[in-house]
Amino acid sequence: MRITGLHTAIVTPFLSNGELDLPSFTRLLDLQLEANINGIVVCGSTGEGATISTQEKINLWNTAVQHVKGRAPIIAGTGSNDTRATIELSKSAVAAGVQALLLVTPYYNKPTHSGLVAHYRAINDAVDIPQIIYNVPGRTAQNVPAETQLAIAEACPNVVATKEASANLEQMCEIIRNAPSHFTLLAGDDSLALPAIACGATGVIAVISNYLPRVFGLLVQAALDGNVRRAQEIQMYLMPYYKANFIESNPLPVKYILHKLGRIEHVFRLPLTAPVASTQSKLDDIVATIDDAWTPAS
CA separation for the pair 92, 57 (Å, rounded): 9
d(CA 91, CA 54): 12
CA distance 8 to 23: 18
**Catalytic entry in 120, 134, 211, 241:** 134
91 is catalytic: no
3-class SS shares of the chain: helix, strand, coil, % to 5: 50, 15, 40
Contact 251, 11 (CB under 8 A): yes
134 classed as catalytic: yes
Helices (H), the chain: 22-34, 54-68, 83-96, 113-126, 137-140, 146-155, 169-178, 193-198, 213-225, 228-245, 252-260, 277-287
- Asked if 101 and 132 touch (Cβ cutoff 8 Å), the reply is yes
Catalytic member of 57, 163, 255, 260:
163
List the catalytic residues: 134, 163
